Amino acid sequence: MKDGLIRVGAGSPLVKVASPAACAQAAIATAKAAAARGVRVLAMPELCLSSYTCGDLLLSATLLREAESALSTYIRETAALDMLSFVGLPVAHGGRVYNCLAAVSRGHLLGLVPKTHLPNYGGCYECRWFAPAPACNLSVSLCGETVLLGTRQLFCCAEMPSLVVAAEICEDMWVAVPPSCAHTAAGATLIVNGSAADENINREGVRRSVVKSLSARLHTAYLYADAGEGESGTDMIYAGHCILADGGRVVAERLPFAPDGTLAVGECDLDRLLSARMRTNTWVPCEEGYARIPFSLSLTETAFSRAPAQNPFLPRDKKAALRAHARALDIQSAGLAGRMQRAHAKTLVLGISGGLDSTLALLVAVRAVDRLGLSRDCIHAVTMPGFGTTARTRGNADSLCAALGVRLSCIPIHAAVGQHFADIDHDPTVRNAVYENAQARERTQILMDLCNAENGLVVGTGDLSELALGWATYNGDHMSMYGVNASIPKTMIRSLVAHVADEYFDAGEGHITKILKDIIDTPVSPELLPPDGEEIAQKTEDLVGPYELHDFFLYYLLHDGFSPRKIYRYAAAAFAGQFDEKTIAAWLRVFFSRFFTQQFKRSCLPDGPRVTTVDLSPRGGWRMPSDASAEAWRAELDQLIAERGLS
């Protein structure tokens, strides 16, 4: 429960129709199984203490009495569990019967949340038995306790202020404006839905989409628990589909017809959801008429039942990742094609080094001119070998340009940079920032001048990771006229090039795939220092750290606003067994130091399309003063390092 993380669950007890005593035992077993797995908030289906398919028996005084007794049994038998749970039952009050979810914690009934919208179609006639939720909360007595019955209740955890729970029932989720909209406006961060939706061949996917959509647009966690196979099968079949969603992501799922006792269990990050709300100006808080009911949970650290993805920029699912790659290329090429048209450019000029970034930029340029129906001759690729260029990268650059049918020029920069050193009285044996940056700026000058000569557009090749770390020469490779890779991290650049290699060439173009595969295998390097024989001497990741880690850090800083401590915790879980905690902490310190000190390079970035969910454009995704201090972030990280003995 620390750092906004909480383990939640949803289950579908094996009910016995019209037998509340048996239903109570099934619900108790489900709650205990969930508690054993560390679940702190549990959702169960509507009417699971009586069964949903009782028909007119739901109006029977006997059944209503037995359902209350079943709830008393459930409260008593789960009193030792460190959990907030929701179970469904019919509740009679004031001459009406309500379809309610009972909120239970540590041996107490906290409140009753009735269903607002009652279906009257498809053989389901709930309005025959139940009254809709009252307009205001009512005071009722049940199981020896006096609590509220109404929809305007928020269950607030004293130990974890970000945990604010509200509930709605089945049909409420499907209406145009669900009660959860008001709940989240009042401050709820987790919505529980106890449901009893019958199964058909189309229902599963639609149900999943609705739950994901609600959790995404409301910036909330959503627990959905559906009635299962113990229900009557007279006319409809119930499959126990349970879904846990967190801000539009399915965290865990109990698939329809899963074996009895199967639970959906996963972690939700409530701080992440609150961070998303802070970024949404359309969010209108409104707590009017809501009662805040406190409850307690022990404050312990929630372990990840499933480690965070090492590459959060891409979906875990392979098919979804393929779609993301294809869409990224579409966005890049469409953006470049549009800029080329609007600028009335005749050519696209770019430096090609044989590295990943320039390779992807070249592939995008090819797609852009193909999209416009232009000859690939209008792409002018330029290799500019310098003091660190190796035969491997130069050969790959030449071969790729020839294979793709673009124009290629070779303009060595040794003499020009040597003259520049002489002009500024720099000793070329001193291989410092002057030695390196002079080469990058000379290359940019060549590209800009060629662009002027050909009425062209200089295509930038630098990526998001380099911009975050400032690993670019100011007014050198940092500058272009349109940066197609500016919002794509290095790890995704690599996977995009691999995607093109695997998906876009037929059997007769196998040589292109072979070239791209070798580029992928080449160490990342600016090649500004002389090589060691034919080996690249200057490997970027040896100097600034693994891009896998930096891209991970960057995502959670920009996308979710995580603190250094929380980023570290996520990274330690994601990269366990690959990087030790000391290594992660050390590179995280480097990341924050470089991220703050290098903002000045990002404050004057050229245009470029936003491709991923984050970017560092000063006109859009990230606005930060160049002289901002990193003191608070470093202090938090230093404290973490000291606490864990990672120095």
Please tell me the distance from the alpha carbon of residue 88 to that of residue 47, in angstroms, as a whole number.
Answer: 4
The pLDDT, as a whole number, for residue 282 is 62
- Pairing of β 379-383 and β 407-410: parallel
Last residue of a domain, one of 295, 310, 335: 295
The residues of the chain scoring below 50 in pLDDT are none
* 98-127 burial code (b ≥16 CB/10 A, e <16): bbbbbbbbbeebbbbbbbbbbeeeeebebe
Q: In this structure, what CATH number is given to the domain that contains residue 224?
A: 3.60.110.10
Q: Which domain holds residue 637?
A: 318-644
CA-derived radius of gyration, the chain: 30
The pLDDT, as a whole number, for residue 393 is 86
- Tokens 């000379």 found at: 442
The answer to whether residues 236 and 327 belong to one domain is no
Output the six-digit token pair for 279.
């970024």
609 domain residue, yes or no:
yes
- Extract the runs of DSSP E, i.e. beta strands, from 170-271: 190-195, 221-226, 242-246, 249-254, 263-269
Please tell me the distance from the alpha carbon of residue 620 to that of residue 45, in angstroms, as a whole number.
Answer: 43
Catalytic residue among 48, 54, 124, 170: 170
* End-to-end CA separation in angstroms for the chain: 27
What distances in angstroms separate CA 155 from CA 27, 161, 203, one per listed residue? 21, 11, 30
Q: In this structure, what CATH number is given to the domain that contains residue 384?
A: 3.40.50.620
Task: Please choose, from the candidates 122, 99, 102, the residue with its C-alpha nearest in 3D space to the C-alpha of residue 112.
Answer: 102
pLDDT tens, position by position, 323-332: 999 999 999 9
Last residue of a domain, one of 295, 329, 345: 295
Look up 156 and say whether it is catalytic. Answer: no
As for how many domains the chain has, the answer is 2
CB count within 10 Å of CB 376 equals: 15
DSSP character at residue 532:
B
- Pairing of β 242-246 and β 221-226: antiparallel
The pLDDT, as a whole number, for residue 610 is 95
503 domain residue, yes or no:
yes
Q: Quote the pTM value.
A: 0.91
The answer to whether residues 436 and 553 belong to one domain is yes
Look up 115 and say whether it is catalytic. Answer: yes
Look up 46 and say whether it is catalytic. Answer: yes
Output the six-digit token pair for 319.
């098919």
The answer to whether residues 325 and 275 belong to one domain is no
The answer to whether residues 356 and 504 belong to one domain is yes
pLDDT tens, position by position, 342-382: 999 999 999 999 999 999 999 999 999 999 999 999 999 99
The pLDDT, as a whole number, for residue 422 is 96
- The answer to whether 462 and 493 have CB atoms below 8 angstroms apart is no
104 domain residue, yes or no:
yes
304 domain residue, yes or no:
no
Residues paired with residue 153 on neighbouring β-strands, in sequence order: 291
Where is 96: in which H helix or E strand?
strand 96-105
The pLDDT, as a whole number, for residue 508 is 67
593 domain residue, yes or no:
yes
Please tell me the distance from the alpha carbon of residue 477 to that of residue 303, in angstroms, as a whole number.
Answer: 43
What distances in angstroms separate CA 111 from CA 7, 107, 541, one per listed residue? 22, 13, 56
63 φ, ψ (degrees, to nearest 5): -65, -40
The answer to whether residues 486 and 418 belong to one domain is yes
310 domain residue, yes or no:
no
CB count within 10 Å of CB 427 equals: 10
Could you tell me if residue 475 is left (phi over 0), alpha (psi between -120 and 50 degrees) or otherwise beta? left
The answer to whether residues 244 and 347 belong to one domain is no
- Pairing of β 347-351 and β 456-460: parallel
Please tell me the distance from the alpha carbon of residue 211 to that of residue 500, in angstroms, as a whole number.
Answer: 34
Task: Please choose, from the candidates 316, 308, 637, 364, the residue with its C-alpha nearest in 3D space to the C-alpha of residue 488.
Answer: 364
The answer to whether residues 290 and 354 belong to one domain is no
Please tell me the distance from the alpha carbon of residue 583 to that of residue 139, in angstroms, as a whole number.
Answer: 57
Q: What is the arrangement of strands in the sheet containing 347-351, beginning at the earlier edge strand?
A: 407-410, 379-383, 347-351, 456-460, 482-483
2 domain residue, yes or no:
no
The answer to whether residues 409 and 442 belong to one domain is yes
Please tell me the distance from the alpha carbon of residue 123 to that of residue 233, in angstroms, as a whole number.
Answer: 13
Where is 513: in which H helix or E strand?
helix 510-521
- The answer to whether 75 and 143 have CB atoms below 8 angstroms apart is yes
The pLDDT, as a whole number, for residue 533 is 64
1 domain residue, yes or no:
no
Please tell me the distance from the alpha carbon of residue 643 to that of residue 647, in angstroms, as a whole number.
Answer: 10
The pLDDT, as a whole number, for residue 534 is 66
The answer to whether residues 371 and 229 belong to one domain is no
Please tell me the distance from the alpha carbon of residue 326 to that of residue 329, in angstroms, as a whole number.
Answer: 5
Output the six-digit token pair for 382.
């330029």
The answer to whether residues 261 and 329 belong to one domain is no
The pLDDT, as a whole number, for residue 301 is 87
The answer to whether residues 137 and 244 belong to one domain is yes
The answer to whether residues 625 and 491 belong to one domain is yes
Quick one: angle between helices 356-371 and 490-503, nearest 10? 50
* 588-619 burial code (b ≥16 CB/10 A, e <16): bbbbbbbbbebbebbeebeebbebbebbbbee
Last residue of a domain, one of 280, 295, 310: 295
Residues paired with residue 269 on neighbouring β-strands, in sequence order: 5
Catalytic residue among 23, 54, 115, 156: 115
537 φ, ψ (degrees, to nearest 5): -90, -30
Please tell me the distance from the alpha carbon of residue 6 to that of residue 172, in angstroms, as a whole number.
Answer: 25
The pLDDT, as a whole number, for residue 279 is 82
